[in-house]
């Protein structure tokens, strides 16, 4: 089935939300995910098979729902069946298994089936998480407003509608929420800056460009629970006096695009988007705009240029986007997960969110386990768990069963961490202290077959391809960086120190002279590879440590 067909079948099964909801009360539900990863593993075939079987056996009296993914990607395609005890999961399912599962289910013979995983909510991998932002992902029908509301949706908005803008901003400040897009800037302070600007046209912009390697939390959330993002954006609009929102979505996410558009239309039909929201004197409109595949368009000022219809070139700051953002007006630019965390904060209060986490890293982090990992997927946990424990408990080591050698955290500009740093807790400050970043929570695992010199070269190459070209250290520096690494790798013992010195100088120039973090952070993966994996560059253990300054601060 093509992506279009899959979505249209999703939409048609949800075209009338209210009648759908009453149908849900009358019939059992069978769930098969429409998440992009689940579909890549064959969930559309399973959904087709379920539809066929339910037609063949009307006595099963069940309805197919295409939900988001629970994030257990090694178990996709996952099939869940409603029972009086709760939802029972089976996976990974093949089309040939469907009839047997549905019939076993009809006779309540659940536990005997070899693919049965028991009650979904009791699967330890899922049960032990702290899902605040992802609470409904994989649980509800993503575009059914009634299902969203039946699971606590729009309660945060109702609370916000009863508060003053300052009270809303104060709740976000109390929560300690920091931007999940990478820079970890306090969200409440950003909102306060926009609120404090004189009343005028203001904007809420959601950064859904999600370009970091190994990250998919934004996509999963938009495909599995788009209303929580929509609700977060409406609350942001109420908080700062903005009546227009834009979701800047990467074009590589066609499924998220369709689901978001359908969800916005359904929210509008239900009176949550548009004029006089919930009968209050407040209007908020929302549109999705597609990017065109440039990593740098995830950088907030470049994103704003792109939204204005221009080439995605980074703007110098100041002025901050909060003061002069989209079309020169005060603008909140927040990541998908930052905005989607807000409804929980307004529903349960800032303190409830702040109670999770450690130090200045409050709340939860949706962590994405990717690369060479046995159990890849999405884990939402309070900040503070160590990388080692996280991978042992949830990732279960490498997929190849070879020893882990290196872990890259925080996307393509993040440092490569060697074994002795795997005890570091997931906490913005702890990561900064070791010269690393948490970024968007993407974790990419490598086994002992990785060539770290090739990875360092790739970091420079990535910057060559993705630099916006505005400043020299990044535009020229990354091209020279690839050349110098090539020379270093080809050098003999005598020539090597000179090339190493030059590479270090170049890294300094990029780190301290670049206009934005693209050029400024590209040295992070390069330097960590040199420092902790010197043998891959034919360097001795002591050589690089003596010769390189250790870079720690993000620009």
Ligand X SMILES: Cc1cc2nc3c(=O)[nH]c(=O)nc-3n(C[C@H](O)[C@H](O)[C@H](O)COP(=O)(O)O)c2cc1C
The correct pick among 299, 305, 447, 536 for binding ligand X (CB under 6 A) is 299
**Which range binds ligand X by CB under 6 A, 159-167, 367-375, 387-395, 510-518?**
510-518
Select from 208, 209, 177 the least CA-distant residue to 191: 177
Q: Count CB neighbours of 435 within 10 A.
A: 18
Q: Residue 333 interacts with ligand X (CB under 6 A)? A: yes
The correct pick among 50, 242, 417, 516 for binding ligand X (CB under 6 A) is 516
Q: Residue 209 interacts with ligand X (CB under 6 A)? A: yes
Smallest gap from residue 299 Cβ to ligand X (A): 4
Q: What are phi and psi of 362, to 5 degrees?
A: -100, 155
Q: Residue 296 interacts with ligand X (CB under 6 A)? A: yes
Q: Residue 522 interacts with ligand X (CB under 6 A)? A: no
**Which range binds ligand SF4 by CB under 6 A, 56-64, 128-136, 374-382, 470-478?**
470-478
Number of helices followed by number of strands (H, E) in the chain: 24, 16
Q: Which two tokens stand for residue 156?
A: 């945060």
Select from 376, 405, 410, 411 the least CA-distant residue to 390: 376
Residue count at the site for ligand SF4 (CB under 6 A)? 14
Q: Which is nearer to ligand X, 159 or 334 (CB)?
A: 334
Smallest gap from residue 63 Cβ to ligand X (A): 36
Select from 373, 361, 380, 368 the least CA-distant residue to 414: 368
Q: Which is nearer to ligand X, 62 or 208 (CB)?
A: 208
Measured between alpha carbons, how far is 181 from 210 in angstroms, rounded to an integer?
A: 8
Q: Residue 271 interacts with ligand SF4 (CB under 6 A)? A: no
Would you tell me the crossing angle of helices 336-348 and 165-175 to the nearest 10 degrees?
Answer: 100
Place of tokens 């992070």: 524
- Neighbour-count burial of 374, counting CB atoms closer than 10 A to its CB (0-12 exposed, 13-18 middle, 19+ buried): middle
Site string for ligand SF4, 495-514 (x = CB under 6 A): -------------------x
Q: What are phi and psi of 410, to 5 degrees?
A: 90, 20
Q: Which is nearer to ligand SF4, 293 or 469 (CB)?
A: 469
Identify the bridge partners of residue 119 per DSSP, sorted by sequence position: 88
**310 to 329, contacts with ligand SF4 by CB under 6 A?**
314
Place of tokens 């050098």: 491
**280 to 309, contacts with ligand SF4 by CB under 6 A?**
296
Q: Residue 470 interacts with ligand SF4 (CB under 6 A)? A: yes
**Which range binds ligand SF4 by CB under 6 A, 41-49, 93-101, 211-219, 466-474?**
466-474
Select from 122, 126, 84 the least CA-distant residue to 105: 84
**Which range binds ligand X by CB under 6 A, 108-116, 135-143, 358-366, 512-520?**
512-520
- Neighbour-count burial of 234, counting CB atoms closer than 10 A to its CB (0-12 exposed, 13-18 middle, 19+ buried): buried
Q: Residue 487 interacts with ligand SF4 (CB under 6 A)? A: no
The item of ligand X, ligand SF4, none sharing an interface with residue 180, based on CB under 5 to 8 Å by kind, is: ligand X
The item of ligand X, ligand SF4, none sharing an interface with residue 467, based on CB under 5 to 8 Å by kind, is: ligand SF4
- Burial of 241-278, coded b for 16+ CB within 10 Å and e otherwise, reads bbebbbbbbbeebebbbbbbbbbbebbbebebbeeebe
Smallest gap from residue 482 Cβ to ligand SF4 (A): 15
Footprint on this chain of ligand X (rule: CB under 6 A): 179-183, 185, 207, 209-211, 296, 298-300, 333-335, 338, 516-518
């Amino acid at each position: 089935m093509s992506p279009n067909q899959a979505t249209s079948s999703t939409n048609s099964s949800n075209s009338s939300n209210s009648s759908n909801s009453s149908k849900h009360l009358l019939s059992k539900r069978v769930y098969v995910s429409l998440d992009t990863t689940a579909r890549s593993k064959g969930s559309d075939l399973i959904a087709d098979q379920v539809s066929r079987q339910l037609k063949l056996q009307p006595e099963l009296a069940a309805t197919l729902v295409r939900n988001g993914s629970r994030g257990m990607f090694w178990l996709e395609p996952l099939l869940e069946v409603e029972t009086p005890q709760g939802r029972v999961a089976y996976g990974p399912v093949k089309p040939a298994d469907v009839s047997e599962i549905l019939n076993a289910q009809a006779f309540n013979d659940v536990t005997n089936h070899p693919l049965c995983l028991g009650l979904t909510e009791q699967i330890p991998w899922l049960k032990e998480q702290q899902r605040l932002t992802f609470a409904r992902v994989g649980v509800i029908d993503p575009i059914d407003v009634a299902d969203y509301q039946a699971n606590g949706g729009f309660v945060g908005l109702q609370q916000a509608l009863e508060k003053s803008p300052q009270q809303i901003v104060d709740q976000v400040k109390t929560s300690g929420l920091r931007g999940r897009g990478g820079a970890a800037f306090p969200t409440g302070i950003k909102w306060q800056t926009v609120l404090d600007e004189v009343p005028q046209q203001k904007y809420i912009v959601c950064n859904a460009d999600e370009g970091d390697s190994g990250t998919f939390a934004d996509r999963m959330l938009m495909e599995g629970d788009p209303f929580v993002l929509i609700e977060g954006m409406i609350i942001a609009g109420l908080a700062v006096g903005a009546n227009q929102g834009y979701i800047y979505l990467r074009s590589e996410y066609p499924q998220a695009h369709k689901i978001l558009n359908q969800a916005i239309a359904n929210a509008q039909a239900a009176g949550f988007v548009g004029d006089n929201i919930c009968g209050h004197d407040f209007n908020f409109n929302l549109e999705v705009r597609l990017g065109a595949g440039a990593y740098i368009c995830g950088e907030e000022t470049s994103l704003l240029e792109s939204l204005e219809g221009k080439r995605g070139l980074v703007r110098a700051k100041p002025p901050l986007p909060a003061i002069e953002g989209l079309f020169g007006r005060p603008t909140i630019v927040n990541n998908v997960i930052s905005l989607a965390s807000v409804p929980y904060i307004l529903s349960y209060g800032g303190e409830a969110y702040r109670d999770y986490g450690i130090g200045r890293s409050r709340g939860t982090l949706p962590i994405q386990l990717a690369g060479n990992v046995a159990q890849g997927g999405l884990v939402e946990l309070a900040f503070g768990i160590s990388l080692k424990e996280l991978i042992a408990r949830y990732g279960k080591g490498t997929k190849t069963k070879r020893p882990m050698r290196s872990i890259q955290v925080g996307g393509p500009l993040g440092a490569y961490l060697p074994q002795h740093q795997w005890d570091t807790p997931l906490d913005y400050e702890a990561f900064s202290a070791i010269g690393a970043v948490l970024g968007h929570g993407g974790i990419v695992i490598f086994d002992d077959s990785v060539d770290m010199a090739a990875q360092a070269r790739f970091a420079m190459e990535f910057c060559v391809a993705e630099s916006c070209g505005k400043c020299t250290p990044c535009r020229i520096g990354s091209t020279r960086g690839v050349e110098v690494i090539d020379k270093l790798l080809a050098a003999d013992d005598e020539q090597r120190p000179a090339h190493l010195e030059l590479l270090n100088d170049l890294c300094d120039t990029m780190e301290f002279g670049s206009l934005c973090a693209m050029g400024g952070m590209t040295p992070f993966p390069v330097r960590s590879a040199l420092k902790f994996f010197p043998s891959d560059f034919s360097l001795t253990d002591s050589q690089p440590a003596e010769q390189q300054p250790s870079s720690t601060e993000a620009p």
